[in-house]
Amino acid sequence: MDGPPPPEEDFSAIPLLDRVSHSNWKARLSAYEALPKTFSLTTSDSDPTFRPYLSDPGLLKKIVTDSNAVAQEKGVEAVCALVQYSGENSARTRETVVPALVDKCLGSARAGTKAKAIELILKYIEVENGGEAVIRDILPGLSAKQPKVVSGTVTALNEAFKAFGIKVIPPKDALKTLPKIFGHSDKTVRAEGTALVQSLYTFLGQGIQPFLSELKPVQVKELNEAFTKMDE
């Protein structure tokens, strides 16, 4: 049938919270796109606007794991804004949201989703004033069946240490995982592991050596060569 395409359905008349849980992904997308501005207009980090979201971590999990890839990316962005503007009040949602990011976002084929997920992880470290609990929530990603989830997990660890250092994030849990990372069959995982070790070396120097003892000799040799270049 000829003629103009039917007009896009307008969801703006539906209350924001109802749109977030709508069965139509375009309705959810419109909500996710509106939320960052809504949160930015709040007057304090305890504004009532945040309450429906902070009191329901399960809703936040649904947002960051949206079944539609386009909506999901905007959903992660919306939760980033929530954590940014509600500050420390959002810390209690971390234990529900971060594992969901690991499972459904860090291995995303959409670069924007992965990048926003890592940004959100870093925001949780910021509002918790420490990274130990966040890192514990990330580490199970190293046991994922999909290599892209594992490599995304290593990338997130690396970005966390680069952003906050070892005073905010005690490195012991991450250091214990190095044999697992370097023993992985996927070369991208191992490459991300190399980047992680180089970041940790900037803080630990030669103190990192005992944690490399279980790696293959050729891997240790390559890392030591990289350390030498870093020290020049």
Token pair 């003629």 in the structure block, residue: 3
- Give 82-130 pLDDT, tens digit per residue: 999 999 999 999 999 999 999 999 999 999 999 999 999 999 999 998 9
Q: Is the model's pLDDT at 135 over the cut of 70?
A: yes
User: Do the beta carbons of residue 182 and residue 145 sit within 8 Å?
Assistant: no
- Give 38-55 pLDDT, tens digit per residue: 999 999 999 999 999 999
- Our measurement of the distance from residue 156's CA atom to the centroid of its chain's CA atoms, rounded to an integer in Å, reads 6
Q: Is the model's pLDDT at 7 over the cut of 90?
A: no
At residue 5 the predicted structure's pLDDT band, cuts being 50, 70 and 90, is low
Q: Give residue 183's identity as a one-letter amino acid code.
A: G
Average pLDDT value for the chain: 95
At residue 11 the predicted structure's pLDDT band, cuts being 50, 70 and 90, is confident
Percent above pLDDT 90 for the chain? 94
DSSP string, 78-136: HHHHHHHHHGGGGGGGHHHHHHHHHHHTTT-S-HHHHHHHHHHHHHHHHHHT--HHHHH
pTM: 0.94
User: Do the beta carbons of residue 29 and residue 76 sit within 8 Å?
Assistant: no
At residue 143 the predicted structure's pLDDT band, cuts being 50, 70 and 90, is very high
